[in-house]
Amino acid sequence: MSKSKFKAVAKTQNSHQARQAFGLLSLALIGLFVLSGAKVVLSKDLIKAHGISTFGDLKYGGDFTHLDYVNPDAPKGGYISEWTQGGFDSMNPFSLKGRAGAMSSTMLESLLAGTSDEIGASYCLICETMEYPQDRSSVIFNLRKDVTFSDGTPLTADDVIFSFETFLSKGLTDFRTVLSEQVESARALDPYRVEFTFTQGKPTRDLPADMGGLPIFSKAHYQSNGLDLEESNMTPLLGSGPYVPDRVIVGQTLSYKRNPNYWGAVHPLMKGTNNFDEIRIEYFSDGNAAFEAFKAGTYTFRNENSSKSWATSYDFPALEAGHVVKAELPSGDKASGQAFLFNLRREKFQDLRVREAIALMFNFEWSNETLFYGLYARINSVWENTWQAAEGVPRLAELSHLQPLVDAGLLQPTILTNTAINGDVSGAKQLDRGNLRKASALLDAAGWAVGSDGMRANAVGEKLRVEFLNDSPAFDRVILPYVENLKALGIDAMMTKVDDAQYTDRTRPPSYDFDIISSRARSGYFSGSELKQFYGSQTADVSA
């Protein structure tokens, strides 16, 4: 390979401060959580502003020309290519049917857009201004008249209302379940003004911004192509964003090209961004194949997530010749640690003692030293490395929320006085005997006794079986020692290897055919209505 044709970058993230993008690739994230405005105008009891922020004033005034962290005169051209695992057979990211292609919502924009140097702040993008009362019980978005979809047709209030109503009736069930109880009405006031009125009695802190974060697509294109948000479809939604689908090879390659006629190219939020002419995603069956392809120059950017690869595999010729740059970038962002997640729909996992016993048998300290080359730090909170992570005993404000839940029998009284739970520390050997004894006592108390065959069963003779569903060969070496430890406890544990399609089918509703998977628990920078979607009982049987 020649220098002129191959210049690649590999990066990793500081293990103590790993960050994960929390954006709008999936509607499940609801996007932008923002509140009070800066440089606002009060008229008829409405606040009129160019944006909205949860934490005081917005950083950027109404006359800002570009974001501080971009080069407004950045050169444009070239391409960037990345990789992902598995395959795709759909370009609809808002359906549970099929496997949507990577970045398949990148064509869509929303009324508001966030920035990377503020938390909980958002600014008008498709809208020119927004109006809302002090209690945030409603919001009016005044749309720009120069916004067009990528086919050149204008984006109007009709498209905004149609997108909202379509998301409300179709698509991701967990999202629409939450949305339907929050919004009382949505209407177009004229071709370029829309109003959302929120349900009385519901918390309204985030709702103006939630509506501003809703992706908008073309009503005419949706109807003329016979699209259905609930169905898998290779025809992408038509949006107003800076990139449009270009080359699509099902299950192999996806590329998006920059729209030369993008309406927002000189918008202050967009100036100096979207500089690549092409963004390309290459698909591979597993991480090993992807890494070999990176070494060969098949794609140009790799965010390394394997501690073993980072510690042992970056010694290939292209790196030594300077064609690949290896860099470790620290981050102060929310940690995005991986975890083993239980399927609580399974009766055996509804007993907290069973879950605690199983958790005790994962030896993080041994795994980190033996498997992860000492590069990882254990996380103890879904909000690790943020002010929201629980520490110590509950404070007065927290107790005011916890006490009613304890009184209702939804939480154990010990939560009021116990310190925040941290992972149990294990010894240097793979099987920690002390934790084995603790776990054994928990299972005994939960009614899972050891039989003559050495295996645990309940009072009616049902074996305690635990299956780890795994679609990543690189994770075999993490799960298999864990399985061995669980067997030492008398649990009939196993790892089942599946491909990407099988994994998707078994972990989505309505099947939920799994015991334990390795994934990331979802969270944002601060708590809002998305928590009901992620963790609420109402969406437990429809959440992906």
Least confident window among 6-20, 76-90, 441-455: 6-20
Handedness of CA 478, 479, 481, 485 (dihedral sign): positive
pLDDT, residue 3, reads 35
CB-facing half-sphere around the CA of 252: CA atoms within 13 A: 5
Handedness of CA 287, 289, 292, 297 (dihedral sign): negative
The more confidently predicted of residues 104 and 203 is: 104
pLDDT, residue 25, reads 29
pLDDT, residue 123, reads 98
pLDDT, residue 418, reads 92
With contact defined as beta carbons under 8 Å apart, do 114 and 525 qualify?
no
Instruction: Report which secondary-structure segment, H or E, holds 403.
Output: helix 396-407
Residue 43 DSSP class: E
Average pLDDT over residues 115-130: 94
Residue 322 pLDDT > 90, yes or no?
yes
d(CA 302, CA 293): 11
pLDDT, residue 388, reads 81
Rounded mean pLDDT of the chain? 88
pLDDT, residue 44, reads 53
pLDDT band at 17 (very low <50, low <70, confident <90, very high): very low
Strand-pair partners of 536: none
Residue 333 pLDDT > 80, yes or no?
no
Strand order in the sheet with 253-258: 79-85, 278-284, 253-258, 243-249
Average pLDDT over residues 462-473: 95
Handedness of CA 93, 108, 172, 167 (dihedral sign): negative
Residue 374 pLDDT > 60, yes or no?
yes
d(CA 177, CA 181): 7
Residue 24 pLDDT > 50, yes or no?
no
Residue 93 pLDDT > 90, yes or no?
yes
User: What percentage of residues in the chain have a pLDDT greater than 90?
Assistant: 68
Instruction: Provide the 3-class DSSP secondary structure of residue 109.
Output: strand
The more confidently predicted of residues 335 and 284 is: 284
With contact defined as beta carbons under 8 Å apart, do 159 and 209 qualify?
no
Residue 1 pLDDT > 60, yes or no?
no
Task: Report the relative pairing of strands 127-133 and 183-190 from DSSP bridges.
Answer: unpaired
Residue 108 one-letter amino acid: L
Residue 539 pLDDT > 90, yes or no?
no
What is the distance of C-alpha 168 from the center of its chain? 21
With contact defined as beta carbons under 8 Å apart, do 109 and 24 qualify?
no
Spatial CB neighbours of 211, under 8 Å, sequence gap ≥ 6: 111, 139, 141, 164, 183, 186, 196
d(CA 455, CA 467): 15
The more confidently predicted of residues 356 and 386 is: 356
pLDDT, residue 193, reads 99
pLDDT, residue 37, reads 37
d(CA 387, CA 374): 26
Residue 20 pLDDT > 50, yes or no?
no
pLDDT, residue 273, reads 98
Instruction: Report which secondary-structure segment, H or E, holds 210.
Output: helix 207-212
Cα-based distances in Å from 158 to 163, 165, 382, 496 = 9, 11, 39, 48
Instruction: Report which secondary-structure segment, H or E, holds 136.
Output: none
In the chain, what are the domain boundaries? 339-539
CATH superfamily of 339-539: Dipeptide-binding Protein; Domain 3 (3.10.105.10)
User: What are 175-228's pLDDT values in tens digits?
Assistant: 787 788 899 999 999 999 999 999 999 888 889 999 999 999 999 999 999 999
pLDDT band at 19 (very low <50, low <70, confident <90, very high): very low
Residues in the chain: 544
Omega of the bond prior to 404 within 30 degrees of 0, cis? no
Instruction: Pick the closest to residue 58 from 137, 21, 112, 127 (CA basis).
Output: 112
What is the distance of C-alpha 153 from the center of its chain? 31
pLDDT, residue 63, reads 95
User: What are 59-70's pLDDT values in tens digits?
Assistant: 999 999 999 999
pLDDT, residue 13, reads 36
pLDDT, residue 542, reads 63
Residue 35 pLDDT > 90, yes or no?
no
Average pLDDT over residues 18-40: 32
